[in-house]
Amino acid sequence: MRRILIMIFILLISGACWSLSPLLNQSLPTSTITYPTRTDAAIPPSPASTVTPTFTNTPASTWAITPTFTPDTSPVPSSESFTVYYHPDDRLYVGDLVSFEVISPPGIDVKDANLHVQVDPPSGPTLDPVNFNPWGIQGRDQATLLWIWDTHDEDPGMHTLVFSIQPDKLSWTEQVTLLPSTDMPQVQVDASWATTQTACCTVFYITNTASERDLSTLTSLIDEQAMYSIEEMDSDFTQPITVTILPRLLGHGGFASSDISVSYLDRNYAANSLALVVHHEMIHTLDGQLGGDFRPNIFVEGLAVYMAGGHYKPEPLMPRAATLLDGYLDRYITLKTLANDFYSAQHEIGYLEAASLIEYMIRTYGWEEFSTFYRDIHITQGENQSDAIDAALQAHFSVSFSQLEKDFLSTLKQESVSPAWVDDVHGTVAYFDTLRRYQQLLDPSAYFRTAWLLDNKAMRERSIVADYLRHPNTPQNLALETLFITASHEMETKQFTTAFQTLDVINSILDGIENGTKDPFSASTMAADYFSISVSLQQQGFEVQRIEIDENAATVYVTGSTEPNLIELHLARSGEAWLLSP
């Protein structure tokens, strides 16, 4: 019966799938130039309780602009130990449903505490109090006030918020700016939730975004990856999978629970294969449906990477894992350590080792035997995951976890390791460590362990799109994210030395921002060029998506404020500024 269902599914999608190539770089169509209307508006700090350098826009009188970097001097609240993040990210407009994340610092017990917020005291509304609870994979202590402040009836301008924590009697005041709703870019005004049904899935997306523009390609890709996943997991396809396409990057681009969320955007600085991300998350969904008393994280993530054929891109798992051993990168993490605290380990190394272990076990024992073992792992309260794995290994294969690791390492040592794989794994680890550093510093909502990933169904029911549409959008964000995309292209084309140099540029900028340097983009010509181009084009109403510089000429792909189509621009260097070419 299962094979019949699969064949029906294949027939439904074969016309769309077999000619589809994975969107490794999400290359997209471009359009002719249509200059958008410029809107000048002050950008409120986000979060207001941290001192983060931001660029202050000045009116443009010419295409040639030499930007300067101005640190944000927003006041720090009286209770400096708590951090507040405001949502939606970037600008807040009248009409937004505003959320707050109030984050407790380490060492402060907020187990029985609750947070109160009053808007514009003494006569303004008091918002419903909330308790502190763990958030995200990290389990960060925070009070989350979700869609708590309805600003439809508020006036534009500055508003005062008083935060208080009871019963600890801590309080502080912050100010936020609501911009007029008429200042919202038209591309956001026109955005709404939409849905389409494919052979495998119910796909939700937001209109007026890259996902709507490329919808036919995306739905074919999703169906194709579903077909592969069903065959690999030997699982009946009984009901449509819900897939939500996000117009901003969260984490590394994919999450799965009862449904799947994947990021699709032009400036995808995670630079991953969309096909692999979708495949990975579908394996998680089917894996969860197949069940098991306890599925250790090391096997859950390892299985998804193994079945997808790679983590961020197609890759041979065992040869790459062998580069982690002594004599090469010397970055191998013991399996016991990895099993007991998987998500705290270095991300790319942990996933690579886990997937390689799955490959080794399936080679050694076969898929059926591995699957039976995997679905028959049990854990008692307080027991380490490694101990639960050890007991199941003993029961099914008469081998301990430590002996399994010895055999696994012996096999890895027999792999042929090329210098190119050493460079590639080294570069991948460095790239994503730098990416997460950037997210924690300048786009904290995107950091995978505490990502601002919400109830997609509730968002659709309330017609909320801003939490996913908006993201930090200052010139520093645009410049850094396009630098990441350049580094990823250099990695992809095996220009490893150049890629490491680009990552060094990014890290030097982040160092400068962390240290409060007046102009962190002056660290190198490359940094200054990317920042200058990002500023110049944003002043004219464009959002930079990709920058390619060849000495004194640049090709830049941008989007405007009215539609998501990519526009190709050409610029020329003129002194320290960049001018649009005729």
Residues 6+ apart with CB under 8 A from 435: 269, 270, 484
Q: Which SS3 state, helix, strand or coil, does residue 515 take? A: coil
Torsion angle of C-alpha atoms 273, 277, 283, 285, degrees rounded to 10:
-160
Q: Where do we find the tokens 């941008």? A: 558
pLDDT at 411: 98
Classify burial at 253, counting beta carbons within 10 Å of its beta carbon; exposed 0-12, middle 13-18, buried 19 or more.
Answer: buried
Q: Residue 135 belongs to what H/E stretch?
A: strand 126-135
- Decide if pLDDT at 65 tops 70: no
Q: What is the pLDDT of residues 347-382, one digit of tens each?
A: 999 999 999 999 999 999 999 999 999 999 999 999
User: In which order are the strands placed within the sheet that holds 170-178?
Assistant: 83-87, 97-103, 140-150, 126-135, 114-119, 157-166, 170-178
- Output phi, psi for 338, to 5 deg: -65, -40
The distance from CA 255 to its chain's CA centroid, rounded to whole angstroms, is 9
Torsion angle of C-alpha atoms 225, 428, 324, 448, degrees rounded to 10:
-70
pLDDT at 156: 98
Q: How many other CB atoms sit within 10 Å of the CB of residue 105?
A: 12
Lowest mean pLDDT of 60-69, 346-355, 389-398, 474-483, name the range: 60-69
Average pLDDT over residues 419-429: 97
Q: What is the pLDDT of residues 485-542, one digit of tens each?
A: 999 999 999 999 999 999 999 999 999 999 999 999 998 999 999 999 999 999 999 9
DSSP assignment of 225-264? HHHHHHHHHT----SPEEEEEESS--TTSEEESSSEEEE-
Contact 358, 302 (CB under 8 A): yes
Q: Which SS3 state, helix, strand or coil, does residue 535 take? A: helix
Evaluate whether the domain defined by 83-184 bears CATH number 3.40.190.10.
no
pLDDT at 132: 94
Distance CA(341)–CA(337), nearest Å, equals 6
- Decide if pLDDT at 63 tops 50: no
- Decide if pLDDT at 27 tops 80: no
- Decide if pLDDT at 229 tops 70: yes
Distance CA(46)–CA(200), nearest Å, equals 39
Q: What is the pLDDT of residues 123-151, one digit of tens each?
A: 999 999 999 999 998 989 999 999 999 99
Q: Which residues pair with 566 in a beta bridge?
A: 30
Q: What angle do CA 562, 566, 568 make, to 5 degrees?
A: 120
Helices (H), 295-384: 297-308, 317-322, 335-340, 347-365, 367-374
- Decide if pLDDT at 272 tops 90: yes
Distance CA(72)–CA(55), nearest Å, equals 8
Contact 443, 247 (CB under 8 A): no
pLDDT at 488: 98
Average pLDDT over residues 537-566: 96
Contact 247, 265 (CB under 8 A): yes
- Decide if pLDDT at 7 tops 60: no
- Output phi, psi for 149, to 5 deg: -110, 105
pLDDT band (50, 70, 90) for residue 237: low
Contact 375, 290 (CB under 8 A): yes
If one compares 310 and 107, the residue with the highest pLDDT of the two is: 310
Amino acid at 43: I
pLDDT band (50, 70, 90) for residue 53: very low
How far CA 349 is from CA of 140, 272, 298, 342, in Å, comes to: 23, 16, 12, 10
Domain spans of the chain, in order of start: 83-184, 305-417
Q: What is the pLDDT of residues 444-480, one digit of tens each?
A: 999 999 999 999 999 999 999 999 999 999 999 999 9
How far CA 111 is from CA of 99, 133, 167, 485, 497, in Å, comes to: 21, 8, 11, 42, 49
- As a whole number, the mean pLDDT across the chain is 88
Q: What is the DSSP letter of 5?
A: H
Locate 447 and state its tokens: 């950091």
Average pLDDT over residues 323-332: 98
How far CA 274 is from CA of 233, 328, 568, in Å, comes to: 20, 30, 23
pLDDT at 8: 41
pLDDT band (50, 70, 90) for residue 106: confident
